[in-house]
Amino acid sequence: MIESRRVDLTAVPDGERTAQLSLQLTGDGPLAVLIHGFPLDHRMWTDVLHGELRHRRTLCAVDLRGHGRSPWSGDPVHTMQRLADDVAAVIRSLGDDPVDACGLSMGGYVAFALVARHPELVRSLALTNTRAAADSEAQREGRDRAIEAVVADGRAAFADGMIDKLLAPDATPLHRAQLRTMIETQPVETILADLEGLKQRPDRTSELAGIRVPTLVVAGEHDQVTPADEMRSFAQQIPGARFEVIAGTGHMSPLEAPEAWSAVVAGFWQ
Ligand code: MLT
């Protein structure tokens, strides 16, 4: 059974603004927090929540502010730091123990910010389909073009441009439809605030050697957004990190191959 909960973040110490976050909880054992990518929500973890990992951990799939069932907070920029502070508040609301943090792509950027800002809350990191580097100048310009395109042409056109990049070439119609539904149902304000935050995110490369928790890095064989070679190279800079590639998947490995992806994470969460 999956339980839905809401956490009120009015108590975040530095928060001039308040937010409410929605969580999906299932399973038994120590807490693991799953952080979705851009511009998605907890639904990207649906098959993972129903799979073998729930027998090893209490899985908590967060909807970051403005995504999924979490209302938009009015914040025009979703910095990775702010999103990480939100996740920290969620973790504190669920208990005192450090958690296994797992993030995909933008969720990975949030996980990097979480371990940097709240190291006492993280006991392991699973970084999937993500990168440590900041945006290049060309990527920042691409974010600006995306902002203009979302405003001019709307979410459906934005989804059209994204789906092929997110999935492996032989993606199923169901996976395409799942992504389209998620992208088209995020508030346009959320998409814009995410794009600004992604553009501004810091480079974490110099922090990799200082990561002290067990770390798993998982890549998709056909990932065009965060290629496996780039992921292997940043994994090699994290002391003792494991690196795995999920065959046949693109940028959405946990959604495209939930069983293979979960088996790799289960091996790490022994
Ligand atoms: C994501 O999947 O979260 C995004 O592709 C991240 C990004 O654009 O950098």
Probe residue for ligand 1, chosen from 38, 141, 231, 253 as the CB with the greatest number of ligand atoms within 8 Å: 38
- Interval 200-243: pLDDT, tens: 999 999 999 999 999 999 999 999 999 999 999 999 999 999 99
Q: What is the pTM of this model?
A: 0.96
Atom of ligand 1 nearest to the CA of 198: 9
- Neighbour tally for 207: CB within 10 Å: 15
Atom of ligand 1 nearest to the CA of 135: 9
DSSP 113-159: HHHHH-GGGEEEEEEES--SSPPPHHHHHHHHHHHHHHHHHHHHHHH
| Helices 137-166 and 188-200, axial angle in degrees (round to 10) | 130
- Please state, in angstroms and rounded to a whole number, the distance separating the CA atoms of residues 30 and 7: 19
- Interval 61-114: pLDDT, tens: 999 999 999 998 888 999 999 999 999 999 999 997 999 999 999 999 999 999
Probe residue for ligand 1, chosen from 45, 64, 226 as the CB with the greatest number of ligand atoms within 8 Å: 226
Query: Under 8 Å CB-to-CB from 122, ≥6 apart: which residues?
Result: 98, 99, 101, 111, 114, 115, 213
Pocket of ligand 1 (CB under 6 A): 37-38, 105-106, 198, 225, 251
- Please state, in angstroms and rounded to a whole number, the distance separating the CA atoms of residues 3 and 103: 20
Contact 179, 167 (CB under 8 A): yes
Comparing C-alpha atoms, which of 121, 113, 18, 11 is closest to residue 66?
A: 18
Q: Is the peptide bond before 30 cis (omega within 30 degrees of 0)?
A: no
